[in-house]
Amino acid sequence: MTFVVTEACIKCKYTDCVDVCPVDCFLEGPNTLVIDPMQCIDCAVCVPECPVSAIYADIDLPADQKEFEKINADISKSGEWPMINKKKDPMPEHEKWAEVKDKRQYLER
Q: Give the binding site for ligand F3S (CB under 6 A).
A: 5, 9, 12-17, 33, 49-50, 52, 54-55
Residues in CB range of 77: below 8 A, 6 or more apart: 38
Which residues is 83 bridged to in the sheet?
27
- DSSP 8-class letter at 37: T
Nearer to ligand SF4, 40 or 54 (CB): 40
Nearer to ligand F3S, 17 or 40 (CB): 17
Parallel/antiparallel/unpaired status of strands 55-57 and 33-35: unpaired
Residue from 54, 11, 52 nearest 31 by CA? 11
| Residues 1-40 as x/- pattern, contact with ligand SF4 by CB under 6 A | --x----------------xx-x-x---------x----x
Nearer to ligand F3S, 51 or 70 (CB): 51
